[in-house]
Amino acid sequence: MTEASVATRNKPAKTRRSSNSWWSAMLASPSTMIGGGLLLLIALACVLVPWLGNMDGYTTNTSAMLLSPSAAHPMGTDNVGRDTFTRVLLGGKASLTVGISVVAISGVIGFVVGLYAAYYPKIGYLLMRICDGLMAFPAILFAIVFIGSFGQSTRSVVLALSIVFVPMVARVVRSATMTNMNENYVSVLVNLGSGSFRILWKNIVLNVIGAWIVEVTFVFADAILVEAAMSFIGAGIPQPQASWGNMLYDSRTYIYSAWWMTVFPGVALALTVFVINMFGDGLREVFDPKRRR
């Protein structure tokens, strides 16, 4: 039996062992389990609590303006009488929706671009120069220009941020792919006459997926932060839809008289980003090649 046939025959078993080791490492990683659990809890609270409680975060009530936290309003009310607790949950739902949408779009496009940019150097040179050009623009500035051209909406925010984060994902995937192309198993597959599709999508992709998962986790956190910054300056999610960014904008003139309008959405934003980064740091340790050895 040749060396090539042995390598090919043993590959599925090796893949299963790697998957099992990754899962075991995730269970053994406090950052991954705590961060993932808290992130799931935040997501469920933002999605289910307003729906199950039939909460209204949009109707104004001039007789209940700027009420301090109480049993009826755990986080007080804002400057037009809306319940801050409900608005924080709805703002979290909007921010998480934007973050997940950006991850889905930029993650998939960046993965494909990075994979083919590494495997086909001539095409890769052109793709990477385009990515360098996009990365030259600050994320917020590019998003503002994009929204100014196509109109302010949640869809525009998602598309603008997706374009901004594609180069970051592509560069990480390209680097990981180029590293794997120097491995012996790629040479074995080439000598066996395997096509580029099989080499890329049935072999290399299995060893690149870890780095990609870690990167899109941090893109998730960055997208939420950038969306909040855009909404704060009035270029993000439009009013009256709740967003942590536009809630902070509304609270800027009430920092001393109604501190709860600033503190609660600010803490929610900081806590969510912290939890996502904790989860990402844990995944980085799990998918670290040196740890798997």
> Using CB atoms within 10 A of its CB, is residue 255 exposed (0-12), middle (13-18) or buried (19+)?
exposed
Reported pTM: 0.86
Structure tokens at 3: 């060396």
Question: Contact at 8 Å (CB) between 282 and 31?
Answer: yes
**Mean of the per-residue pLDDT values for the chain?**
86
User: 168-205 burial by CB neighbour count: b if 16+ within 10 A, else e?
Assistant: bbbbbbbebbbebeeeebbebbeeeebeeeebbeebbb
Q: For residue range 181-208, what is the model confidence (pLDDT) as tens digits?
A: 877 877 777 777 777 788 888 888 888 8
Q: For residue range 157-181, what is the model confidence (pLDDT) as tens digits?
A: 999 999 999 999 999 999 999 988 8
CA 226 to CA 218: how far, in whole Å?
A: 12
